[in-house]
Chains A and B, each alone.
Chain A
Amino acid sequence: GENVEQHPSTLSVQEGDSAVIKCTYSDSASNYFPWYKQELGKRPQLIIDIRSNVGEKKDQRIAVTLNKTAKHFSLHITETQPEDSAVYFCAALWANNNDMRFGAGTRLTVKP
């Protein structure tokens, strides 16, 4: 089945710096790659997603890049703020189109 690996598991940055989280997936037929943010004690919420027919997508300070050949995708957060502190999860949709596999998560801490 699909396997999604996420790195790093923890990331600490200074406010205003950029943060990058990387994920790799195993199923070359995967075609949908969302990123979720989960604050402490809260439910996961979608922050950005990308489909396999594009290589990059941006939404204000957040961007996602996808390299289908290498089977990896990355989340980029620029000008980080303390409220960006949370756990971030990448995911990939397995080829059958209904089975979502998540990475293990990255705990991002933004120091003021």
Chain B
Amino acid sequence: NAGVTQTPKFQVLKTGQSMTLQCAQDMNHEYMSWYRQDPGMGLRLIHYSVGAGITDQGEVPNGYNVSRSTTEDFPLRLLSAAPSQTSVYFCASSPSSGSNEQFFGPGTRLTVL
């Protein structure tokens, strides 16, 4: 199993550009989530999904959209990138809900100029 995979690993955007961060898992996990990690602030939940077709907002959802059309994939879309969205983004999955071990992807380092 590949586990949780993310692409790209690095990305540089200009202010106002849009892009999609990809996340996929091959463990048949129902729960998937997106976090951003900024220095001194830990991990903050952006959006999460408890199954295909179901998504919900986390702690910091503004400026981001998600969709869950399949169990395997959970893409994160930046609608109009801003410098404040410069961060490392982690996707994670767990078998059923948040109350289980979350398996993290390798992360995407995003810089917005």
Residues of A near any B CB (own CB < 8 A) = 1, 6, 9, 31-32, 34, 43-46, 49, 51, 89, 91, 93, 97-105
Contacts and interface: CB of A to CB of B under 8 A. Distances in A.
Contacts of B41: 104
A43 B31 contact: no
B90 A43 contact: yes
**Interface-central residue, B31, B58, B105, B106, by most chain A CB under 10 Å:** B58
A46 B101 CA distance: 7
B102 A46 contact: yes
A98 B30 CA distance: 12
Q: Per DSSP, are chain B's interface residues mostly helix, strand or loop, or mixed?
A: loop
B33 interface: yes
A36 to B, nearest CB: 8
6 contacts: A9-B40, A99-B45, A100-B102, A102-B43, A102-B44, A103-B42
A101 B90 CA distance: 14
B98 A89 contact: no
Given A99-B45, A99-B48, 9 more contacts: A6-B42, A43-B107, A46-B102, A89-B43, A97-B97, A98-B97, A100-B102, A102-B44, A105-B40
Contacts of B90: 43-44
A38 to B, nearest CB: 9
Contacts of A97: 97-99
A72 B106 CA distance: 30
